[in-house]
Amino acid sequence: MTKTRVLTGITTTGTPHLGNYVGAIKPAIEASQRPDVDSFYFLADLHALIKCQDPKRVQQSRLEIAATWLALGLDTDNAVFYRQSDIPEIPELTWMLSCVCAKGLMNRAHAYKAAVAENEELGHQDMDKGVSMGLFGYPVLMAADILMFNANKVPVGRDQIQHIEMARDMGGRFNHLYKGQYFTLPEAVVDDKMEVLNGLDGRKMSKSYNNTIPLFVSEKKLQKLVRKIKTNSLEPGEPKDPDSCTLFQIFSAFASAEETATMRADYENGIGWGEAKDRVFEYLNAHLREPRERYNALLEDPGHIENVLKQGAEKARAEAQPLMERVREVAGLGRFV
């Protein structure tokens, strides 16, 4: 069987929330259990340093994200699960790609252009104020993440398509300069059906809006957060529109088609907001109870998480080391004997 190699990175700067689970974690874990997919999942902790210089936050986020994926059933026998920072070949490849990457390509990167636009808007004389080389060169590191393992497909949001195109550009440039097929040129996979959950205030659930519902908060905290979800002023008995309601959207992202249809009918029949929120809380709590217990147990046993990631790093480096030896050799950096 020919397997499709799929690679996904998770930036370690925050605590996973319901939106992360529905949009990225759940489909990735399901893919990790498929025999026709060769899955690579990594904690993008080098990327985290671009925006976060709080070591405690980065360390805690790495632990929480690793525990989340394991608690939710990531198949680490079938998938390679590793920390980016455990693979020294990745920063080495980043430098090799930097040497074939045009600066003009980096000038067009969305994140850099946004930073320059913000400086211009604020009236700064220096258009690069606050721009680190990490932010500027971020797409090169991302290209190294992908090209290192010759991924065929990279699931991304639409805002990340440019980075996959840049990875193709860098990989193709290296292949052309050194006259060989050293790197597979990846394809971006954008799932337009992927659910984007709204948060407590009705906007997209995002830690930047401070409107998230963390996946594994305590039962009491979960109930409190669900009760904070923004609704309108319609009274019990008045029909309500489920398709414009964050509460219904969150419920339907977890519930079966039959359960969703029942809730939709209850909306049309005028369910009260208090009852609807209680029902959503009870459903989420029941759905998350067992993985929450596994998650808390994993946090209490960081040694187990460390062992899993070390094993993943060994698998990843078994692929990375020979590729880098080949890349060094073709670039003139091979051993003399």
159 among annotated binding-site residues = yes
8 among annotated binding-site residues = no
pLDDT of residue 2: 82
Distance CA 30, CA 21 (A): 12
Scored b (16 or more CB within 10 A) or e, 34-55 reads: eeebbbbbbbbbbbbbbebeee
Which stretches within the chain are classed as H helix?
18-20, 26-32, 45-51, 55-71, 89-98, 103-107, 110-121, 133-148, 161-177, 219-227, 246-254, 257-268, 273-299, 302-330
233 among annotated binding-site residues = no
pLDDT of residue 326: 97
11 among annotated binding-site residues = yes
The residue with tokens 């692929």 is 319
272 among annotated binding-site residues = no
192 among annotated binding-site residues = no
86 among annotated binding-site residues = no
76 among annotated binding-site residues = no
pLDDT in tens, the chain (337 residues): 688 999 999 889 889 999 888 888 888 888 888 889 999 999 999 999 998 999 999 999 999 999 999 999 999 999 999 999 999 999 999 999 999 999 999 999 999 999 999 999 999 999 999 999 999 999 999 999 999 999 999 988 888 899 999 999 999 999 999 999 999 999 998 877 667 899 999 999 988 889 999 999 999 999 999 999 999 999 999 999 999 999 999 999 999 999 999 999 999 999 999 999 999 999 999 999 999 999 999 999 999 999 999 999 999 999 999 999 999 999 999 999 9
- The pair of three-digit structure tokens given for residue 28, joined into one six-digit string: 């990735």
335 among annotated binding-site residues = no
113 among annotated binding-site residues = no
Scored b (16 or more CB within 10 A) or e, 276-311 reads: bbebbbebbeeebeebbebbeebbeeeeebeebbee
Task: Please check whether residue 139 is in contact with residue 161, taking contact to mean a CB–CB distance below 8 angstroms.
Answer: no
Distance of CA 234 to the CA centre of its chain: 37
15 among annotated binding-site residues = no
